[in-house]
Structure formats: structure tokens, C-alpha cells
Amino acid sequence: MSKVIIIGAGGVANVVAKKCAQNDSVFTEVLIATRTVRKADAIVAEIHEHLPNSQTKFSTTTVDADNVPELVKVIREFGPEMVINVALPYQDLTIMDACLETGVHYLDTANYEPKDVAKFEYSWQWAYRERFEKAGLMALLGCGFDPGATQVFTAYHAKHHFKEIHYLDIVDCNNGDHGKAFATNFNPEINIREITANGRYWENGQWVETAPLEISQDIYYPKVATRKSFVLYHEELESLVINFPTIKRARFWMTFGEAYIKHLNVLEGIGMTSIEPIDFKGQQIAPIEFLKAVLPAPESLAANYTGQTCIGVQAKGLGKDGEDKVHFVYNVSDHAKTYKEVQAQGVSYTTGVPAMIGAMLMLTGVWKRAGVYNVEEFDPDPFIAAMNEWGLPVDELAGIELVK
Ligand code: NDP
């Protein structure tokens, strides 16, 4: 029924491609276009090995997604209905430009971030609203798990449980063990930039800034563990406080183990996480890019990963009848199980499955509007139903306040 291009061939792209292959009545033809084409070829080889009955036709090609004319050429030659961008946030704007030029829809899983400033916000991509509207095209931003499913969960709270949400806490626990001294679960450069930045949360109509990892508390993650969790700034907070204006406070929490924080502190202390290029033997390199090169690739962690992830959204406020209410919506995924299914660890899996679901809802016309949108602006029910169908079961816990 539909032709799509997946841009990127990393941990998340691997999952998106395999989920498209499983969902072959929607995704009939897929081109994986990326910088290092052998990684895309390896994904396709695994699909042929593990999903031999899939009818989806796969091909691969090289593209530099920083280069609009190159992207335009690849898109024109293949003629897809949409592009699923699972390269890096640095490429969001060039890919959106290429989509506008070629008249195809767009989806990504992380908002634009300039390479030379450690700062991410939606303003750059929201600035494309009018152009997408005029072109009759849709761009769906941040359709992974967080951002992505967490906004679907918030919209679900608002639709089914709350008259007014006052307090929103998004919690992300990775209780897995990959057996390495230090590694990041997704692109190390993007991950470390996110964690070493100042924290930020929304309270009473304004952003409150914290030092990195300054605020923490122990949170119980149902079916998984109680883990120390830290307040981080996370991009979905920016759109959620706009789209749900009754929110008085919105925070994002993530778990980190002591060993992880110790490594990070040392790396930061010696300047290895810096994005400022230095001269090394006549070559300009940013220390964090070098660090990425020596750390394990996220996709290489998958084979020996054990344990679970638990990501959810706690809402507190006035229930549908005006009563005080607290409610939690969440998913638990198991690293070993996701490896068995798609040869990926849980963090790539929980990102890639929602990206496939978002694309499916766009291609089948269930979520379809011209313009640039965040995930919570659409009906959450078909998305939740698809999560249950495609490997991310959604659970609910009523009346227990997990985050104080
Ligand atoms: P990886 O680093 O594993 O993969 C990124 C891929 O993009 C690589 O194949 C890389 O190519 C390719 N790429 C990078 N630059 C270019 C370029 N200029 N042109 C073409 N291809 C390029 O990252 P992940 O798969 O872990 O993450 C993918 C995206 O998902 C990121 O944007 C990340 O922020 C996002 N994410 C979102 C989450 C969510 O829940 N919303 C959670 C986790 C990740 P090469 O192989 O040559 O390096």
C-alpha cells in the first residue's frame, strides 16, 4: 500500500525497519537511506533471515542527510509517501526542507538540535507550520517513546481520566544491565548532551532551571524496581504545557545508576563531553565526538542486555467528576525479549515501535492533518491500541502516587 524512506541505520532504524517488515500490509516498499550503507544492508540481511515471510520490499542507498539536494534526489528517485527520520536531531531541518521540496510527509523521533549549541527546542521546527500547511503535508514531531508515547499517555489521561491535569510527571526507568562499564543506550553524543545540560521543569507558568542531576527521588516503577530518578529537561515538556494549559507543574525523571554517574562525572571533569572542537594533530575534533567513537555502539549492547524498562506518565488533578485523582499509564519492556524479536535492546525498541505506529496512522489516514504537529494533538486511542498490538503493552495504575 505505501512506500516510505527510513533515514538512518542505527539502533532505532533497525527496529523501525523490522516493525515495518512485520506490518507488511501497510509498508509495502521501504528504502533505508543512510550515511554508512553497509549498516542498512546488514538490517535488510537480518530481515531476510528473521522475517522470511514478510512481503515488504527493502532496498538501501547512501545519503548525506545534511545535504538537501542529495536528499531531494534520493526522495524523487524512490517516490515515497513519507520519510521516517531516525538519523540524528541535527538532520531534522534539512530533511523537512527536502520533504517540502518533494511533497512528502515527515516524521521524526527527536527535535532539532544545532550541532554547535547544546540546546534543543521546538521553535525551529514549529517555524515550518505554515509551509507544511500550505503544501498540504503533515510533519509529526517526536514520535518515539519519550518524546512520543509519553504525549499519547498524557492525551489519554486528559481524554479518559481527567477534567484538569494539574501535575504531570513523566518517568523513565531503564533497569537493564548490558554488562559494560559505561555505555549509552542511544546515540552517545545526543544522550550525553541531554544529561550534562541543566535540568528544567515547568512550575506556575514558568521554567525553573536546576543544575544537572540536582533534583532526585526514589520512584517505584511497577513490575520493575524502585530506582533513584533525576529531574532532566526533556523536549516533550515544551509542547505539553502549551497543549494542556491546566498543568501547574510538569517534570521529567530518568534513572541513572551510581556507576553511570561516576563515569559521566569523570568524563565531564576531564573535558571529554565538550562539544567545543579542539586541535588534535592538525585536525579539529569535538571531544564528545571522539568519545562516541570509543564507546560501544548502542546497537552492540543488545545481545547481552537483561532487565526491563518502565516508562510512564503520572497525572494528578481533578478527575472527570471534579474529584482529586492520581493515575499512572505506563509500559514495561524487556531487553532480552526485544532482542529475541528484532535483535535490539529495549531503548531502541521502545523508540522504534512508536515511530512505525505514527507512520502507520499517517499512511492509513487515521492521523492526518496538514501542518506540523506534536503527538498529543491527535486522538490517543488508536495509538494506544496499536501499542498493544505491536509489542508495547500499555498498563494503568489507579490511585497510587508514585512520584511525590
Ligand atoms: P544511532 O547513532 O544508532 O543512529 C543514527 C543513524 O543516523 C546512523 O546510522 C548514522 O549513520 C545516521 N546518520 C547520522 N548522520 C547522518 C547524516 N548526515 N546522513 C545520513 N545518515 C546519518 O542513533 P539511534 O538509532 O540510537 O537514534 C536515532 C534517533 O532516535 C536520534 O535522533 C535519537 O535522538 C532518537 N531517539 C529518540 C528517542 C525517543 O524516545 N523519542 C529515544 C532514543 C533515541 P552512521 O551509521 O554513518 O553513523
Task: Name the pTM for this structure.
Answer: 0.96
pLDDT-derived band at 158 (thresholds 50, 70, 90) equals: very high
220 CA → ligand 1 middle, Å: 31
Q: What is the pLDDT of residues 122-134, one digit of tens each?
A: 999 999 999 999 9
91 CA → ligand 1 middle, Å: 9
**Grid cell locating 49:** 533471515
Q: How far apart are CA 183 and CA 267, in angstroms?
A: 12
Place of cell 492521523: 367
- Ligand 1 atom nearest the C-alpha of 299 is 3
Q: How far apart are CA 372 and CA 365, in angstroms?
A: 16
> How far are the Cα atoms of 19, 271, 358 from residue 90, in angstroms, in the given order?
24, 22, 21
Select from 359, 353, 313, 314 the least CA-distant residue to 337: 353
Q: Is 375 in the pocket of ligand 1 (CB under 6 A)?
A: no
pLDDT of residue 117: 75
- Residue among 18, 31, 34 to mutate when testing ligand 1 (max atoms within 8 A of CB): 34
pLDDT of residue 153: 99
**Grid cell locating 233:** 529537561
**Burial status of residue 321 (CB atoms within 10 A of its CB: 0-12, 13-18, 19 or more):** exposed
Q: Is 36 in the pocket of ligand 1 (CB under 6 A)?
A: yes
Q: How far apart are CA 129 and CA 372, in angstroms?
A: 5
pLDDT of residue 193: 84
Q: Is 88 in the pocket of ligand 1 (CB under 6 A)?
A: yes
Taking each helix axis as running N to C, give the angle between helix 335-342 and helix 11-22, from 0 to 180 degrees, rounded to the nearest 10.
60
Domain range summary for the chain, segments of one domain joined by +: 2-141, 149-341+393-398
Query: Side chain identity at 219, as an amino acid letter?
Result: I
343 CA → ligand 1 middle, Å: 17
Average pLDDT, the chain: 96
pLDDT of residue 299: 81
The CATH homologous superfamily of the domain defined by 149-341+393-398: Dihydrodipicolinate Reductase; domain 2 (3.30.360.10)
Place of cell 492520581: 326
Question: Considering only CA atoms, which residue is closest to atom 7 of ligand 1?
Answer: 87
**Burial status of residue 266 (CB atoms within 10 A of its CB: 0-12, 13-18, 19 or more):** exposed
Q: What is the pLDDT of residues 247-264, one digit of tens each?
A: 999 999 999 988 999 998
Q: Give the torsion sign (CA, 71, 75, 78, 81).
A: positive
Whether 187 has a pLDDT exceeding 90, the answer reads no
86 CA → ligand 1 middle, Å: 5
Beta 308-319 vs 324-334: how paired, if at all? Answer: antiparallel
Mean pLDDT confidence for 354-376: 98
**Grid cell locating 193:** 548532551
Q: What is the pLDDT of residues 19-64, one digit of tens each?
A: 999 999 999 999 999 999 999 999 999 999 999 999 999 999 999 9
- Residue among 5, 7, 12, 342 to mutate when testing ligand 1 (max atoms within 8 A of CB): 12
Fold of 2-141: Rossmann fold (3.40.50)
- Residue among 18, 83, 86 to mutate when testing ligand 1 (max atoms within 8 A of CB): 86
Q: HEC profile for the chain?
A: CEEEEEECCCHHHHHHHHHHHHCCCCEEEEEEEECCHHHHHHHHHHHHHHCCCCCCEEEEEECCCCCHHHHHHHHHHHCCCEEEECCCHHHHHHHHHHHHHHCCEEEECCCCCCCCCCCCCCHHHHCCHHHHHHHCCEEEECCECCCEHHHHHHHHHHHHHEEEEEEEEEEEEECCECCCCCCCCCCHHHHHHHHHCCEEEEECCEEEEECCCCCEEEEEECCCEEEEEEEECCCHHHHHHHHCCCCCEEEEEEECCHHHHHHHHHHHHCCCCCCCCEEECCEEECHHHHHHHHCCCHHHHHHHCECEEEEEEEEEEEECCCCEEEEEEEEEEEHHHHHHHHCCCHHHHHHHHHHHHHHHHHHCCCCCCCEEEEHHHCCHHHHHHHHHHCCCCCEEEECCCCCC
Residue 333 near residue 392, CB atoms below 8 Å: yes
Q: What is the pLDDT of residues 61-106, one digit of tens each?
A: 999 999 999 999 999 999 999 999 999 999 999 999 999 999 999 9
- Ligand 1 atom nearest the C-alpha of 12 is 25
pLDDT-above-90 percentage for the chain: 90
Q: How far apart are CA 244 and CA 35, in angstroms?
A: 39
238 CA → ligand 1 middle, Å: 22
